[in-house]
Amino acid sequence: MGLVPMSGLSVILMKTARAEYHLQAIETEHKRLIDDGMYTVSKKDNRKKFSHILRLEVKPMSPLIGMLAGEFAYCLRSGLDQLAWQLALLNTKGRRPRSHTSFPIRGTKPPPPKGFGDAIKDILPAAFDVIESLQPYHRGNAYKMHPLPRGSPKTGQ
């Protein structure tokens, strides 16, 4: 039995579903850390010195959380870039899209840094308004808290 080729949209759905899986795993691990007592607080009074000492001890965080966070960001970024590639395929009509084709994510308002034009040059023009509406800079100073990951080696920010 041979392999069945998958459509580009199937791969995007798989990547975003995998990103969601990693996000749920992060939440589960975080809850476990809190339930296990992520930190302890001890209090001590020194009556002779008229002082009250509070001591906070934090347990080392599991490296698993960092790995899950990285895998979450990678899967989400990959899914967005594959979406951009599929939009470019619709527009290039049989030609291969440019290698720089990617989903642009900007924390600052245009004019975009160098490389932004190459990222979207082959993308279906009807998608520009949607992509632009998702940009983090629309949130003003809160762009750092935007759900899209900031920056990408492909887009230069």
The answer as to whether 54 is a domain residue is no
Cβ(41)–Cβ(54) below 8 Å: yes
- For residue 81, is it within any domain? yes
Looking at the DSSP assignment, which residues form a beta bridge with residue 52? 45
Q: Is the pLDDT of residue 105 over 60?
A: yes
What is the rounded average pLDDT of the residues 127-148?
A: 78
For the chain, how many structural domains are there in total? Answer: 1
Residue 137's pLDDT is 79
Residue 148 confidence (pLDDT)? 65
Sign of the Cα torsion 3, 7, 10, 15 reads positive
Predicted local confidence at residue 21, as pLDDT: 94
In a domain, 57, yes or no: no
pTM of the model: 0.70
Q: Name which of 96, 97, 115, 107 is nearest 153 in CA terms.
A: 115
- Answer positive or negative: Cα dihedral of 98, 100, 102, 106: negative
Residue 132 inside a domain? The answer is: yes
Asked, for residue 153, whether it belongs to a domain, the answer is no
Distance CA 24, CA 18 (A): 10
pLDDT of residue 156: 36
DSSP states along 7-50: PHHHHHHHHHHHHHHHHHHHHHHHHHHHHT-SEEEEEEEETTTT
Cα–Cα distance for residue pair 19/11, rounded to 1 Å? 12
Residue 24 domain flag = no
Domain that holds residue 88: 14-19+62-145
Query: Per the domain annotation, does 35 fall within a domain?
Result: no
Residue 131 lies in a domain: yes
Average pLDDT of the residues of the chain:
81
